[in-house]
Chain A
Amino acid sequence: MSSLAAVTASNLRKDLRLEWRSKDAVNAMLFFALLVVVIFSFAFDPTAEESRQIAGGLVWVAFLFAAIVALNQAWMRELRNQVLDAYRVSPAPANALFLGKALGNFLFICAVEALLMPLFVVFYNLRSVGPAWQLVPVFLLGTWALVVVGTFFAAISLHTRSREVMLPLILFPISIPALLGMVEATTMVLTGIETPAFWISLLVVYDVVFTTVCLLLFETVLHAE
């Protein structure tokens, strides 16, 4: 167990250091999500009241697309210089690699969300009617839901032709309930009409179930040849 934690931590440290020096994923995601925000405001041109109704959907679609950009990059690094092959033959636990990668992506995407949320608020004149602190668990749970399955499926799509196209094609159908949960919970907090309790518990269930499945199956996928 301690070796799992240690290897996970060193994987995570490596990913964070690489990202800190290159800022590849975060820059690409930031600019991409910014473009989506701008294009959506042209496409829908909402008033303040309307934007409160649709903001949940807009925010999450923007972050979903941005997350795809980062997730597609995530494993590419490991292909250079056959790092992944080296990992396969090493005795380090496979799940440590997966957890390190998923936690790294989670931190990158959370950082992008934290940087872009103020921009959303400004551009769409958002004011939350419900208690805004409830958005914090919704965003943490929702981002983990996207990242954990996304990191796993990005590892699957490494073995396919045109892998960058492949990831959204397999990730979106599976993520539909999580996406529904994030969008509905965010909208409910913003409009303050109902409590998002059901949707938050749905996200918890989704996160727990799929984190477990990912950890059970990752070693198989890593060694698939």
Chain B
Amino acid sequence: MKFRILAVITFLLLSYALYQGMWAAPREATMGEIQRIFYYHVPSAWTSFLCFFANFIASVVYLARRNLKADAFAVSTAEVGVVFCTVVLVTGPLWARPVWGIWWTWDARLTTTLVLWLIYVSYLILRRYSTGQATPTLAAALAIFGFIDVPIVYMSIRWWRTQHPQPVIAGGQGSGLDPRMWQAVLWNWAAFMAFAALLIWVRYRLERARQELDEAHALRAVGQAEGSFTR
């Protein structure tokens, strides 16, 4: 029931946010309609960063408590985070091509986001290839490495790139933003957060079901072994 309520709220939020981004927010003076991709790009980025943060917390909790629920939460948040991070990496070049004239530049923020994506994809690959009961522990260790690496990556790439001229992020951030644009960004963020929560929920339930199935299989195998022993 709670799940249905969240699904309905997500649907309503996404619809309203679409209206906010596409119609209510004013047309950007220099970039025109292409700027509206901003309302998807930025909220996706924030959502994915929060997912990765949640993954880190869940990994630490797993290592401390050895609770499989924390592990299920960690895998769900990592997957959803990678999906939103992919959205960021795809919408970015789509916007940059007409505005900057290039698809990609090795600027600090772009490169850091790409490395972030690489780190969490490698986390998911480790989970996929890892065998046996050790998977949650190993994945949690890698998640901690990845999360600690992010500030070092950002620092190094910033220094690497501040040596070179950077494209100016036009019509972008902070105080330069029209209040109606802020409104569109925040509505979209709320909608994307609700959507991410919904996806994490579904994925979490799936992972829990898989864990319970594994457990049942293991118990049955033990029971059979004991049965054959007593016989």
Task: Point out residues on A near B: beta carbons under 8 Å.
Answer: 149, 153, 156, 159-162, 166, 169-170, 172-174, 176-177, 180-181, 184, 198-199, 202, 205-206, 209-210, 213, 217, 220-221, 224-225
Are B156 and A213 neighbours in the complex by a CB distance under 8 Å? no
- 9 of the cross-chain contacts (CB-CB < 8 Å) are A159-B131, A161-B129, A161-B130, A170-B142, A173-B122, A180-B160, A213-B145, A217-B144, A224-B137
Assembly CA distance A176 to B118 (angstroms): 10
Q: Which residues of A contact B225 (CB under 8 A)?
A: none
A-B pairs, 4 with minimum CB distance: A224-B134, A224-B137, A177-B156, A173-B118
B132 within 8 A of A: yes
B92 to chain A, nearest CB (A): 19
Are A221 and B141 neighbours in the complex by a CB distance under 8 Å? yes
Are A156 and B142 neighbours in the complex by a CB distance under 8 Å? yes
Assembly CA distance A176 to B156 (angstroms): 9
Pick from B63, B138, B152: contact of A202, CB below 8 A: B152
Pick from A166, A180, A198, A220: contact of B157, CB below 8 A: A180
Closest to A216 in B: B144
Q: Which residues of A contact B130 (CB under 8 A)?
A: 159-161
Q: Which residues of A contact B138 (CB under 8 A)?
A: 156, 159, 221, 224
Are A177 and B152 neighbours in the complex by a CB distance under 8 Å? yes
B126 within 8 A of A: yes
Are B141 and A160 neighbours in the complex by a CB distance under 8 Å? no
Known: A160-B130, A221-B141, A225-B134. A174 touches B149 (CB 8 A): yes
Closest to B115 in A: A176
Assembly CA distance A149 to B148 (angstroms): 13
B175 within 8 A of A: no
B146 within 8 A of A: yes
B133 within 8 A of A: yes
B2 to chain A, nearest CB (A): 34
Assembly CA distance A181 to B126 (angstroms): 26
Closest to B156 in A: A177
Assembly CA distance A220 to B135 (angstroms): 12
Q: Which residues of A contact B218 (CB under 8 A)?
A: none
Assembly CA distance A169 to B142 (angstroms): 12
Are B122 and A169 neighbours in the complex by a CB distance under 8 Å? yes
Closest to B63 in A: A220
Pick from B121, B122, B132: contact of A225, CB below 8 A: B132
Closest to A149 in B: B145
User: Could you say which of A149, A161, A180, A209 has the most chain B C-beta atoms within 10 Å of its C-beta?
Assistant: A180
Are B131 and A174 neighbours in the complex by a CB distance under 8 Å? no
Assembly CA distance A159 to B157 (angstroms): 32
Q: Which residues of B contact A173 (CB under 8 A)?
A: 115, 118-119, 121-122, 146
B residues 124-175 with Cβ under 8 Å of A? Answer: 125-126, 129-135, 137-138, 141-142, 144-146, 148-149, 152-153, 155-157, 159-160
Are B137 and A221 neighbours in the complex by a CB distance under 8 Å? yes
Q: Which residues of A contact B137 (CB under 8 A)?
A: 220-221, 224
Are B145 and A210 neighbours in the complex by a CB distance under 8 Å? yes
Assembly CA distance A162 to B157 (angstroms): 32
Are A160 and B142 neighbours in the complex by a CB distance under 8 Å? no
B residues 22-77 with Cβ under 8 Å of A? Answer: 63
Closest to A217 in B: B141
Are A202 and B141 neighbours in the complex by a CB distance under 8 Å? no
A68 to chain B, nearest CB (A): 14
Q: Which residues of A contact B145 (CB under 8 A)?
A: 149, 174, 210, 213
Q: Which residues of A contact B123 (CB under 8 A)?
A: 170
Assembly CA distance A220 to B157 (angstroms): 32
Known: A177-B152, A209-B152, A213-B144. A184 touches B160 (CB 8 A): yes
Pick from B118, B135, B149: contact of A177, CB below 8 A: B149
Assembly CA distance A196 to B185 (angstroms): 41
User: Could you say which of B63, B138, B146 has the most chain A C-beta atoms within 10 Å of its C-beta?
Assistant: B138
Pick from A170, A176, A206: contact of B125, CB below 8 A: A170
A172 to chain B, nearest CB (A): 8
